[in-house]
Amino acid sequence: NLSVNFVFLWEEALKLLNNFWGVNIRPFPGPLAQDDKEANRPIPNKGERGLGNEKFKPVVPWPHVEGVEVDLESIRRKNKAKNELNQHGGGDNNQQNVIQRQYLTFKPQTFVYRDPVLRPGVLGNFEPKEPEPHGVVGGPGEEAKPYVLGPDYKESIQASIKEFGFNMVASDMISLDRSVNDLRQEECKFWHYDENLLTSSVVIVFHNEGWSTLMRTVHSVIKRTPRKYLAEIVLIDDFSNKAHLKERLDDYIKQWNGLVKVFRNERREGLIQARSIGAQKAKLGQVLVYLDAHCEVGINWYAPLIAPISKDR
Lowest mean pLDDT among 10-14, 28-32, 141-145, 200-204: 28-32
pTM, entire model = 0.67
What CA–CA distance (Å, rounded) separates 22 from 49?
13
- Among candidate residues 307, 292, 308, 304, the one with its CA nearest the CA of residue 185: 304
- Tens of pLDDT, residues 231-250: 999 999 999 999 999 999 99
The whole-number pLDDT of residue 80 equals 73
Per-residue confidence band for 147, with pLDDT thresholds at 50, 70 and 90 = very high
Classify each residue of 149-172 as buried b or exposed e, where b means 16 or more C-beta atoms within 10 Å of its C-beta.
eeeeeeeebeebeeebeebbbbbe
Residue that wins the pLDDT comparison between 224 and 7: 224
Given a contact cutoff of 8 angstroms between Cβ atoms, the answer to whether 221 and 291 are in contact is yes
Structural domains of the chain, with CATH? 2-56 (no CATH), 194-312 (3.90.550.10)
User: Does residue 186 have a pLDDT over 50?
Assistant: yes
pLDDT at 37: 47
Reported as a pLDDT band with limits 50, 70 and 90, residue 49 is very low
Cβ–Cβ < 8 Å for 204, 217: yes
Q: Is the pLDDT of residue 17 over 70?
A: no
Highest mean pLDDT among 8-17, 37-46, 156-165: 156-165
Per-residue pLDDT band for 88 (boundaries 50, 70, 90) equals: low
Kindly report which listed range (55-64, 81-90, 93-102) carries the lowest average pLDDT score.
55-64
pLDDT (0 to 100) of residue 33: 47
Per residue in 99-146, pLDDT tens? 666 566 666 667 788 999 999 999 999 999 999 999 999 999 999 999
pLDDT score recorded for residue 9: 62
Average pLDDT along the chain: 82
Q: Specify which of 36-40, 67-71, 132-136, 286-290 reaches the highest per-range mean pLDDT.
A: 286-290
User: Is 75 a residue whose pLDDT tops 70?
Assistant: no
Measured CA to CA, the distance from residue 30 to residue 18 in angstroms comes to: 18
